Amino acid sequence: MFVTRRPAGRWLAGGALLLCLAVTAGYLPDHAQGGDPLREMTRPRYADGKQLLLPGEYRNWVFVGASLGLSYSETARESGPGLFHHVYLQPEAYAHYRRTGQFPEQTMLIMELYRPEQKVSINRGGYFEGERVGLEVAVKDRGQFEEGWAYFDFANGRRPQARAFPKQSCFDCHLQHAAADNVFTQFYPVLRSINAAGR
């Protein structure tokens, strides 16, 4: 009895170690690791009901496009080129969109706004990005918002939580004009190229 149990203990140790190495090295498929490709995705968090908390670190999210002074109005701008926009989404939401052509539930798109600058250092023509002046977030979360998507202004990060804009402020226009599921993929080259591939 003792003789058969002693090696069994060692086999158990060896098996645990091998399983560990396989998981750590990523040799096992997702489902064998109990995994879902969206498992690691940063999720929207709420306070006091439907107030979205400012998402934390998004510098490692996937950047999908920039624009300068993008507007939907025929009225000419009073002066200057307008603001730069940066748009990011979670890497897992990006991978899902590449794979399926759909944004998963709890996708978040971050929009940063930067003031344009010029003629600093050796720059003579054109515009680069100066100070950040805005931070807004779009969230797809049908569990929280009847329309599916909601839009938030974090006052350039000064507001730690924000209430969704009224439906007619953002949602209606996104619904009507955005190329894919309320997202203006037609303006973001990194997402547009996926659309174009028909995926």
Which positions lie near its own copies, rule CB under 8 A? Answer: 2-3, 5-6, 8-10, 12-17, 19-21, 23-24, 59-60, 62-63, 65-74, 76-77, 81-82, 84, 86, 88, 91, 94, 114, 116, 120-132, 173, 177, 179, 184, 186-190
Instruction: Give me the least distance between CB of 102 and its own copies, in Å please.
Output: 18
Q: Distance between CA atoms of 144 and 91, rounded to whole angstroms?
A: 22
Q: For Cα atoms 137, 138, 139, give the angle at the middle one, nearest 5 degrees.
A: 115
Distance of alpha carbon 188 from alpha carbon 184, whole angstroms: 7
- In whole angstroms, how close is the CB of 49 to its own copies at the nearest point? 32
Nearest approach in angstroms of CB 9 to its own copies is: 2
83 or 137: CB nearest its own copies = 83
CB closer to its own copies out of 112 and 141: 112
Alpha-carbon 102 to chain mean position: 13
Nearer to its own copies, 103 or 188 (CB): 188
Cβ neighbors of 92 (< 8 A, separation 6 or more) are 37, 38, 40, 41, 104
Question: Least distance from C-beta 33 to its own copies, angstroms?
Answer: 9
Which residues, 6+ apart, have CB-to-CB distance to 179 below 8 Å?
185, 186, 192, 195
